[in-house]
Structure 1
C-alpha cells in the first residue's frame, strides 16, 4: 500500500523507465495507468492519483523516454531514441501495463493520457487496445497533413545539418508561439497551460518542465501525430472499447475544442461504439491542474465507476 517507485527496462535497450505506483489502502477495484505529456513528469499526477486511491483505484505511470527520471541526464531531456520513437514509447507503456496486470490480476484496466501522452495513448489503443477496459484522453489534439509534412521536412533537415540532439528555438517558436494569443496580459510564456498561477510558476521553475525539446523530440511528435490521424489506424481500435475525451475550450492544443470534436467524430465514424466528449468552457490545457480540477476529477471518477460496475 502507499507509494512505490521502481524501474523497468525500456524497449530502447538503454534506459530504465522510472515507474511510480500509487496503491489504495482498501482493496483495489481497478487500475488506471497514466501517460504524461510533453516536457513534464509522472510525479505531477500525484494529487490526481491520490484522489483515485481514495476511491479504490491503483494508479501507475512512468516517465517517458527523454523525460523526468527516465532521462539518464539533462542532455537526454527531450530526446527519445534514434528511430521508431513513438512505437518505442508505446511499447514502454505496454511494459508498464504488463507489470501492473501481473500484480493486479483480473482487475478492470484503464489508460489515461494527457496532451502528448494522449497522442501516445491513442497509438496504444491501435496496438494494444484489447488489453484495456477503457481509455481517457485529456487535452488531445491534431494537426493538418500540410503542417505535419512541413514539420517533418524541417526537423529532418535540422537533424541532417545540426544533429538529432540539437535544441531548436525555431521549432519551439513554430510549435508554441500562437498558444498565448487568447490570454489577456499573460504573466509568463506558460500561461496557456492553466489558469492556476501556482501550477504555472512550478512549471516555469522546474528543470523537468522547462527546457527546449530536441529535434528528435519534435520528429517524434510529427511521427506519432501522422500515425494516429490515419483512418486505417483509427480502424484498428477495438470497437467495444469505451473512449472518453475531455478538454478545455481554452486549450490551444485542441484548437479550442474544435480538434477534439473532430477526433471524437472520427472515432465514432470508425465504428467505436462508446465515444464520450466533455469540454470545460473556461479551462486551458491542463484540465487536471485547473481551478476547477475537483469537477474534472469527479467527472473522470464517475466515468470509471460506470465502467467498473
Structure 2
C-alpha cells in the first residue's frame, strides 16, 4: 500500500484533516467515516485491504477529532458532519471522476453515513455499516437523564477491552494521543439523540446496496438496537454479517480476515470483481 497523503479542507466549523490512501489503478472510491472519539488513522489496516482490492480510500477526521479543528469531541449538529463528509466526497470524486463511491461508516460513523445516504444516496454505489449507532441506541437517553439529575454528563470512558478480543488493539487505543479518553459532552449527546430520531423518521434508502457488519458481543453498541435501525434504513434488504464472539470493532477483531473477506465479496457484487 502506498503511503497515506494528507489534505486539509475547509469544513463547516474549521479545518478538516483528510487522509488519502491512494491506489495506482482504482476501480472505485471508498469514504471511511470513523467513530466517536477516534480518528481516521486507526483505519490503516482496513485501508490497506481496500487499496489492495482496487479502491482509492479517503477518511476525514471529524470536527473535534484527530487532527481536525474544534473543541475535542464537541458536535452540535451531525448535519454539519454530513456536510464535511460531502466535501471529502467531492475531493475524492474530482480526483477519480466516474468511479463508483462506497461509504463505510463505523459506530458514530455509521450514524453519519446513514444520514448521508438519506440525503445523498443517489451519489453512492453502496453503504457499509459496522457496529452502527442507529435504531434503538439507549446511551444518549441514559446520559441525558443522569445529567438532568446530577447536572453533568457522567465520566464513563470507553473501555479499551470493549473494542476487540485482541489486547493489542485496546492497548494501542489507550496509548493513542489522538483518541479522546474523557467524558462525552452534553451538546454532542443531545446531537446523537436528535440524529437518531431524524434517521428513524426519514426512512429507508431503498435501492442502495447495504452491508451490515456487527460483533455478536458488542457491548458499546448492542446488536439488537442496531438491528432495528438497519432494517428500517434498508427496508429489510440489507446483507447481514454477524460475527460470533466479536466485540465493537470488527475491523480490528481476532477474526478480521473473515470480516475483510465478507466485505470484499460484497464489494465485488457492487463494483465488479
* TM score, norm. by length of structure 2: 0.90
1:140 counterpart residue number: 132
1:183 counterpart residue number: none
Do residues 261 (structure 1) and 223 (structure 2) align? Answer: no
| Local SS of the residue matching 1:69 | coil
Structure-1 separation of matches of 2:149 and 2:53: 50
Structure-2 separation of matches of 1:16 and 1:191: 32
Whether the 8 Å CA contact 1:30–1:58 is kept in 2: the answer is yes
1:164 counterpart residue number: none
Do residues 78 (structure 1) and 41 (structure 2) align? Answer: no
Structure-1 separation of matches of 2:226 and 2:140: 17
Distance 1:41 1:92, change over 3 A: same
* The one of 190, 207, 223 aligned to 2:194: 223
Structure 1 gaps of 5+ residues are 162-167, 177-188
Structure-2 separation of matches of 1:88 and 1:34: 17
Structure-1 separation of matches of 2:137 and 2:109: 20
Q: Considering only aligned residues, what root-mean-square deviation do their CA atoms show, in Å?
A: 2.4
Q: How is 1:221-260 mapped onto 2 (pairs within 5 angstroms)?
A: 221-230=192-201, 233-235=202-204, 237=205, 239-255=206-222, 257-260=223-226
Whether the 8 Å CA contact 1:247–1:254 is kept in 2: the answer is no
Determine which structure has more spread, i.e. the larger CA radius of gyration: 1
Structure-2 separation of matches of 1:19 and 1:54: 20
Distance 1:104 1:151, change over 3 A: same
Structure 2 gaps of 5+ residues are none
* TM score, norm. by length of structure 1: 0.80
Count of aligned positions: 270
Structure-1 separation of matches of 2:138 and 2:23: 46
For residue 149 of structure 1, report the CA deviation from its aligned partner: 5.4
Do residues 42 (structure 1) and 40 (structure 2) align? Answer: yes
For residue 32 of structure 1, report the CA deviation from its aligned partner: 0.6
* The one of 104, 107, 112 aligned to 2:104: 112
Structure-2 separation of matches of 1:203 and 1:150: 25
For residue 264 of structure 1, report the CA deviation from its aligned partner: 3.0
| Local SS of the residue matching 1:229 | helix
* The one of 177, 181, 199 aligned to 1:207: 177
Deviating more after overlay: 211-220 vs 91-100 = 211-220
Structure-1 separation of matches of 2:233 and 2:163: 26
1:58 counterpart residue number: 56
1:10 counterpart residue number: 11
What is the CA deviation profile of residues 261-309 of structure 1, one whole-angstrom value per residue up to 9, with x for unaligned ones?
32233235x4x6x411110001100001011111111111111111012
What is the CA deviation profile of residues 124-173 of structure 1, one whole-angstrom value per residue up to 9, with x for unaligned ones?
11111111000000011446498755655666898xx7xxxxxx551x43
Structure-1 separation of matches of 2:187 and 2:255: 35
